[in-house]
Chain A
């Protein structure tokens, strides 16, 4: 989606277990919902 907009070098750099310990932890684990860091450039 980002590349279709024109962004270059789109990379996910890190993942986080952001929902661990919340009431939605079970759903997050079921669907693989995680936080992630990204970077992309406008060259």
Chain B
């Protein structure tokens, strides 16, 4: 059953709040947030391989704030072109970079400068030239049509007000035969209009 909720909140303010929150996460991942961060959480509650995370730069893993584990959905093929929507500090991009290898390519897209800075530093430290990061929004990806084999994302699409626009742009950049494997939050119960339009509940 399709469900489209009416969202009347200030979209620009929401975008600004998201940027502010994730800039704080990038600058102080040990700060007080309503969501978990870091590699211990990822291994303990989301089934990431703790040893694989320990081999990555701390700058990539400390700010991780995903809600699931896209890598448990399907193997990412060697040589693939992968895009990570809302790549944050780059943890999932580096994991994808290990899987696609030197003949593949991973592009992380994020709209928070502080996260992009961490991610680029992490990719350089990890020695993964196949992983790059671009500034952009997930409703208007800085990528050509039909240029991507696999799209991944982790806990980001829920932050976009216009979710149909997100999926339209994912569809645009995927090659025929490509796929999206992603994690995000789901809500089992109907939310009130007040809750749907409360920016604090969107970004915490």
Contact = CB atoms under 8 A, between A and B. Distances in A.
Interface residues of A, number: 34
Contacts of B163: 1
Contact of A39 (B69, B74, B171): B74
Interface stretch (B52-60, B133-141, B186-194): B186-194
Interface in B39-59: 45-46
User: Chain B, interface size: which category?
Assistant: 35 or more
A37 B187 contact: no
Contact of B68 (A2, A30, A33, A37): A37
Interface in A23-43: 23-24, 27, 30-43
B129 interface: no
Contacts of A33: 185-188
B188 A32 contact: yes
Given A5-B164, A31-B191, A33-B185, A38 B174 contact: no
Interface of A: 1-2, 4-7, 12-24, 27, 30-43
Interface of B: 2-4, 34-36, 45-46, 66-70, 72-74, 155, 163-164, 167-168, 170-171, 174-189, 191, 195, 201, 204
